[in-house]
Amino acid sequence: MLGLAAFPLRRMLADRRGLKAIEYAILAAIAVLAVAGLTGPLDALLTDVYDTMLSKVPT
């Protein structure tokens, strides 16, 4: 009886059709995390540059 239940599981594990889609989804998730991780430091840097430029403009 266990042999009949294991056949669909083996067939599912051998199926590689969705593998590329999963790989691309993982790469996209890594790219999103990298961009999100850079947002904080980049925001602080741009704020400093803007404040420096603004302080040099005569009023």
pLDDT tens digits along 11-30: 777 777 778 888 999 999 99
Task: Indicate the number of domains in the chain.
Answer: 1
Return the structure tokens found at 53.
């430029």
Q: What is the mean pLDDT of the chain?
A: 85
Has residue 50 got a pLDDT over 80?
yes
pTM listed for this prediction? 0.52
Classify residue 9: in a domain, yes or no: no
Please report the pLDDT score of residue 3 as a whole number.
64
Burial of 33: CB neighbours in 10 Å, binned 0-12, 13-18, 19+: exposed
Question: Residue 49's pLDDT is what?
Answer: 94
Domain of 40?
A: 17-59
Q: Is residue 30 part of a domain?
A: yes
- Let me know if residue 50 belongs to a domain: yes
Does residue 40 lie in a domain region? Answer: yes
- What pLDDT shows up at residue 2? 58
